[in-house]
Amino acid sequence: MKAKKAAQFQTIGLLGRANMKEDAPFLKELKAYFDKKKDLTVMWDNNLSEVLGKKNEKPRPTILKHAHLVLSLGGDGTLLKLVRDLPLRKNLYVLGVNLGTLGFNTEVFETKKVFPLLNEILSGQYHTDDRLLLRATLYRKGVKIATHLALNEAVINQGNFARLIGLYCEIDQRKMIEFKADGIIVATPTGSTGHSLSAGGPIIHPRIDGFVFTPICPSELTVRPIVIPSNRQLTVRVDTERRYADNQIGLTIDGQIMVPVEYGDIVKIRASHRKLRLIRAAIKSSGGGNYYKLLREKLSWGKKA
């Protein structure tokens, strides 16, 4: 997290989760706040149109292409969905507002604190927190099948069958490890507190420039998680052949997108050139920006049973 020269936020984008009727009072208050800022242009996606109307509705990619400041209104899932369409821009800032359940990666957890924080941000008082993203690309017989950005993790695992998967892994075209497991999780520092942590991986501070390779229930106890520098490329080949038509292995991105994987497929995972630039509070009274406090409060880190 670091302070930067204040950017000029002239265009504001609002991205919401589905079914936001129960948040209508806050959303209308938010729109009224921006309506008073005559020098700002505000647009929103179709998830908010039922409450805010269709006048300034724009497609999500358009908002991410043109907005200087984007408010992600929902939980962690809304933020993860935003990343799918994230453009290669350095002047796009994202503020996460938690209207969901966990909201681990959002900056604001109470709607009443949104407006004081916006006043700070628009006056140039804020920090930024650049988050590493992964790019996972699936190849089949040398042909690119799919490529996706991930904020949390890319997972290769078995579907609806209880059988180990054979995996051959390389780092920068050098053999890393060959083993059998239920699958693997390749997580960013942001995602290290999610699925990877549950599978025995370490917590990695968001400022660490790397990603973690976490095996899922490996057949050998010696196969342990490892943190890999972000300038390396991980290549994973699936060496398990399906026995039945419904035996499906999948590449899952941030728990939201699943791409079927076949025997012999290759998945290449590397750090993306894109970054998610989160905006953080500059003043402690705003209640955000303390990563260790977040671990204690959201994950009960260090608390005695």
Residues recognised as catalytic = 76
CA–CA distance, 193 with 128 (Å, rounded to integer): 20
What strands, in cross-sheet order, belong to the sheet with 257-261?
Answer: 226-229, 210-216, 183-187, 153-158, 249-253, 257-261
Provide the Cα torsion 125, 67, 54, 14; round to 10°: -40
Q: Is 218 exposed, middle or buried (0-12, 13-18, 19+ CB in 10 A)?
A: buried
Whose structure tokens read 């309506």?
A: 35
- Give the residues across from 138 on adjacent strands: 146, 267
Q: What is the DSSP string of 112-151?
A: GGHHHHHHHHHTT-EEEEEEEEEEEEEEETTEEEEEEEES
Q: Are 180 and 166 in contact (CB under 8 A)?
A: yes
- Which residue, 304, 282, 301, is CA-closest to 126? 282
Do strands 249-253 and 234-238 pair parallel, antiparallel, or not at all (unpaired)? unpaired
Alpha helix stretches (DSSP H) within 15-101: 24-35, 46-52, 60-66, 76-84
